[in-house]
């Protein structure tokens, strides 16, 4: 195939650098039997197990967090339906996700919003803390939610707002009440609880049914939990006690731990559901690159296939990349960068070499092997 024709066929690598791609709208006919509209209110009502299996396709590990989040949204939409039927107020349980950077907190929320087909926006707590006009910033976040719902206010009112880096709102060491972080917590309290917020368009958005999910790394929280649990930890009282359940109860984050960490009690009280994200193991990092529905490896293999080239990256390479990522301490965040760097020289070479049919990468530290189409003079050549 002439190089020009192959170039025209090649999709732009932008497809690879974008955010996670999801199938358009999960509310397809195939899912319909699993999603009866709750009380006719048109709310998603998938079973928690279905939500978890959807999340499994995109998020590796974090089994407990998946279940907690799935049950939380299931209960949330049930409560909304009940409140609408009874004309009562929704007693909302917002969610707090705790885990190191790059362990999948944002990815999980984003994936969740896709399976539920509800509008989803993220906001950074730190940027809220750095502005003098917190309420205006919050209005802007809610306006984005309305925009995501294409201006459909009732739809936006059932959306999900993810507020990241919530741990950064803690009062700085030695500083008492009144820090900027604390005033942001107060401002957030109001909308998390449910209030009417006037948008710049003049419309009002009711936040009562919006699910707020907060996320943060909470570095140092484990020491706080250990020190506070010491005196009254759960201990096995009979042989029948399940050790796994006891372990979970003993590592459970309590509102008092978050208060000791530096958040105000009123705020921690609004986040009754807490899910912990674990650090990713080497094996999980490898699976993130190879096994997810839109894995890096899959994306690159598709690009190469469009060029008429087979890409083979041997398992050892993924392990090497995972080891580097562990050293970088940014969870799965660094995988993409390392993998793309590995692919750069190959992607540079391919368009100029129409005879290349197969590329085999067998180590992060050696050049890839290029297998070319047979030349008129002889057999296929590897270089
Ligand atoms: N458990 C996971 N499964 C699959 N991919 C993951 C997982 N964790 C992280 N990733 C990958 O790493 C990227 C960054 O993850 P994400 O944004 O969810 O991290 P985070 O936990 O929100 O981190 P931060 O605290 O820094 O915001 C994701 O886009 C995804 O590609
Ligand atoms: Mg995040």
Q: Does any ligand 1 atom lie closer than 6 A to the CB of residue 62?
A: yes
Euclidean distance between CA atoms 297 and 311, whole angstroms: 9
Asked if 155 and 80 touch (Cβ cutoff 8 Å), the reply is no
Q: How far is CA 288 from CA 42, 56, 261, 339, 365, in A?
A: 34, 11, 32, 12, 21
What are the start-end ranges of the H helices in 238-309?
243-250, 255-261, 265-269, 282-290, 296-306
Domain 294-372 has CATH 1.10.8.60: yes
Q: Are the folds of 22-276 and 294-372 the same?
A: no
Question: Domain extents for the chain?
Answer: 22-276, 294-372
Confidence at residue 94, expressed as pLDDT on a 0 to 100 scale: 92
Residue owning the nearest CA to atom 29 of ligand 1: 107
> 234 CA to middle of ligand 2, Å?
32
Euclidean distance between CA atoms 65 and 55, whole angstroms: 11
> 165 CA to middle of ligand 2, Å?
8
Ligand nearest to the CA of 284: 1
Ligand 1 atom, smallest distance to 58 CA: 4
Euclidean distance between CA atoms 138 and 160, whole angstroms: 14
Q: How many percent of the chain have pLDDT more than 70?
A: 78
Q: Which element (helix H / strand E) includes 122?
A: strand 120-124
Q: Which fold has domain 22-276?
A: Rossmann fold (3.40.50)
pLDDT in tens, 334-380: 999 999 999 999 999 998 888 999 999 999 999 999 998 886 665 55
Backbone angles phi, psi at 273, to 5 degrees: -100, 120
> 179 CA to middle of ligand 2, Å?
24
Q: What is the CA radius of gyration of the chain?
A: 24
Confidence at residue 19, expressed as pLDDT on a 0 to 100 scale: 41
With 90 as the cut, is the pLDDT of residue 315 above it?
yes
* Helix/strand/coil for 110: helix
Residue owning the nearest CA to atom 8 of ligand 1: 104
Q: Does any ligand 1 atom lie closer than 6 A to the CB of residue 325?
A: no
Binned at pLDDT 50, 70 and 90, residue 14 comes out as very low
Distance from the first to the final alpha carbon of the chain: 20
Task: State the sign of the Cα–Cα–Cα–Cα dihedral 241, 244, 249, 251.
Answer: positive
Confidence at residue 332, expressed as pLDDT on a 0 to 100 scale: 95
Confidence at residue 6, expressed as pLDDT on a 0 to 100 scale: 39
Q: How many residues are recorded in the chain?
A: 383
In testing the pocket of ligand 1, which one of 62, 63, 99, 104 has its CB within 8 Å of the most ligand atoms?
104
Task: State the sign of the Cα–Cα–Cα–Cα dihedral 140, 146, 148, 151.
Answer: negative
Binned at pLDDT 50, 70 and 90, residue 98 comes out as very high
Mean pLDDT of 114-136: 86
pLDDT in tens, 24-74: 444 433 333 334 444 445 555 689 999 999 999 999 999 999 999 999 999
């Amino acid at each position: 195939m002439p190089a020009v024709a192959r170039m025209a066929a090649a999709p732009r690598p932008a497809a690879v650098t974008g955010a996670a791609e999801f199938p358009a709208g999960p509310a397809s006919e195939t899912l319909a039997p699993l999603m009866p509209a709750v009380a006719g209110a048109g709310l998603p009502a998938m079973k928690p197990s279905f939500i978890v299996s959807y999340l499994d396709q995109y998020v590796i590990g974090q089994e407990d967090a998946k279940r907690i989040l799935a049950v939380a949204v299931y209960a949330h939409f049930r409560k909304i339906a009940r409140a609408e039927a009874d004309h009562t107020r929704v007693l909302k349980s917002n969610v707090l996700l705790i885990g190191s950077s790059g362990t999948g907190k944002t990815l999980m929320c984003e994936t969740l919003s896709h399976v539920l087909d509800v509008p989803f926006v993220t906001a950074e707590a730190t940027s809220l803390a750095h502005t003098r006009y917190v309420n205006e910033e919050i209005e802007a976040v809610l306006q984005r939610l309305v925009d995501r719902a294409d201006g459909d206010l009732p739809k936006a009112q059932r959306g999900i707002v993810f507020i990241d880096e919530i741990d950064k709102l803690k009062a700085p060491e030695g500083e008492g009440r009144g820090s900027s972080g604390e005033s942001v917590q107060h401002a957030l309290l109001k909308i998390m609880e449910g209030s009417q917020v006037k948008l710049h368009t003049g419309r009002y958005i009711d936040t009562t049914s919006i699910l707020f999910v907060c996320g943060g790394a909470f570095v140092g929280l484990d020491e706080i939990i250990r020190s506070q649990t010491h005196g009254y930890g759960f201990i096995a009282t009979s042989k029948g006690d399940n050790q796994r359940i006891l372990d979970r109860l003993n590592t459970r984050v309590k509102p008092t731990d978050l208060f000791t960490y530096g958040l105000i009690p009123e705020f921690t009280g609004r986040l009754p559901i807490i899910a912990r994200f674990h650090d990713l193991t080497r094996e999980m990092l490898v699976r993130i690159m190879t096994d997810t529905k839109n894995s890096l490896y899959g994306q690159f293999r598709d690009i190469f296939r469009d060029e008429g080239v087979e890409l083979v990256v041997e398992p050892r390479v993924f392990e090497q990349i995972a080891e580097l990522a562990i050293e970088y301490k940014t969870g799965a965040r660094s995988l993409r960068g390392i993998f793309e760097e590995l692919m750069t020289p190959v992607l540079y070479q391919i368009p100029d070499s129409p005879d290349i049919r197969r590329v085999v990468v067998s180590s992060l530290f050696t050049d890839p092997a290029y297998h070319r189409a047979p030349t008129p003079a002889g057999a296929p050549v590897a270089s």
